[in-house]
Amino acid sequence: MLTIFRKKQNTPSANDAEALAWDAQAPQGLEQAMQQAPIPALLKKRVRQELTQAAENAARTAGHSTVTAQDLMQGLLAKLPANMRAKVEDAVQGGPDNLKELEKDLKNYK
């Protein structure tokens, strides 16, 4: 288990507990998401923190003591606007071809 994604905040909120350990696949998924998303360089650190927190919150909600790739996906989806979340969910249900189309659409936003 990896614990490299420890969240540090000056003012923890009621939802924040100690950072969770991450399994081996979850950090790889976060890195892939960060590379593929059209995020301006100045915002990458903030977005990484937000996604890390969202994944840890999803893990806690699911009762997990370790963040999994599934928790990361749930955290990512929770951060998306409703219309984009619907597109992602539709693409996932549609299979690999639909995911490739979604990837092309996302690259057009860069």
pLDDT(11) > 60: no
> What pTM value is reported for the model?
0.71
C-alpha span between 73 and 92 (Å, rounded) = 11
pLDDT digits (tens, 9 = 90+) for 89-101: 888 899 888 888 8
Q: Is the pLDDT of residue 16 over 80?
A: no
The per-residue pLDDT of the chain, averaged, comes to 83
Rounded average pLDDT over 63-87: 92
Greater confidence (40 vs 5) lies with 40
CA distances from 102 to 35, 46, 48, 78 (A): 15, 24, 21, 18
Q: Are 48 and 40 in contact (CB under 8 A)?
A: no
The DSSP H or E segment spanning 105 is: helix 96-107
20, pLDDT greater than 70: yes
* Residue 55: CA count within 13 A, CB half-sphere: 29
